[in-house]
Amino acid sequence: MQYNLSRLKGRWTHLSRIEGGIGFRGPGEKQIEIDRRRINDRITHLKSKLEGIEQISKTKRKSRKDIFSVSLVGYTNAGKSTVLNRLTSSHLYTADQLFATLETITRSKTLETKERIVISDTIGFIRKIPPYLIASFHATLQEVIEADLLLHVVDISHHKLFEYMDTVSQTLKEIQADHQEMILVFNKIDLLPRNQYMFMKKKLRIDYPDSPFVSARTGENFDDIENAISKKLAHSKKNIILKIPNQEQKFISYLFDNAEIIEKRYNNDSVRLRIK
């Protein structure tokens, strides 16, 4: 909208020559004023709506603050929504177009380790994002800033993949999210001929040895993503040592069901647990 507003002046010059002299306005100028007013009204409406979305998103984030959160980031059309669909068995809208995802979509997932996480899909990044656009999608980008882990999804089949990777890294730096834990996921391996895929994988493994190479469309190697998330989650936990009286059997049972027991030692009147 703001982009279109800046281009209005040159759009109706052909009408300005039809009528109007010194001190008079031609139909082109009148049309510009009408269009400008309509666009400004629409911008005001959308900004108000975005503020509402941001408030709702903030409330949702608070409600799940104790749950490990993962945000998908990447250049637009890298396949983030398809990755989320595959990871969480969802059916979100996907399209090969700019900004197919316009707001944050969050789904929960239970890992093989029985731990529950939440995964959020976010707006695709582009080169030279205008500052007003970053401000407009503040609610979506806030999800990225506050995430425990980022999944940077890269379209390995695109000839500009390195340029797009740099764009995403630069955007994360601009929103001060460049120091977060990250897993780089090379997606769309099904679009490459086998020989080219093997060559690219060997080349990329030098700099990104732990990155999964997957196809969100076919599901190939998708367990590698979950395994990588599980490792990051395990690494993020702190070890706690507890000494619990034997009579607290309900609490001890709860810990065995819901925590990772690293070490246990039974004494006459208590049990000593080292947990994550």
Quick: pLDDT tens for 251-273: 988 888 888 788 888 888 899 88
SS3 content of the chain, % helix, strand, coil (to 5): 45, 20, 35
Write out pLDDT tens, residues 52-87: 655 555 555 455 567 899 999 999 899 998 999 999
pLDDT > 70: what percent of the chain?
70
For residue 238, pLDDT over 90 is answered with: no
Buried b (16+ CB within 10 A) or exposed e, 197-236: beebbeebeeebeebbbbbbbeeeebebbbebbeebbeee
Whole-structure pTM value: 0.65
Rounded distance between C-alpha atoms, residue 239 and residue 261, angstroms:
10
Are 224 and 186 in contact by the 8 Å Cβ rule? The answer is no
Contact 189, 220 (CB under 8 A): yes
Write the pLDDT tens digit of every residue in 220-237: 999 999 999 999 998 877
Q: What is the pLDDT of residues 163-207, one digit of tens each?
A: 999 999 998 998 888 888 999 999 999 999 999 999 999 999 999
Q: Which domains does the chain have, with CATH numbers?
A: 2-44 (no CATH), 64-236 (3.40.50.300), 240-275 (no CATH)
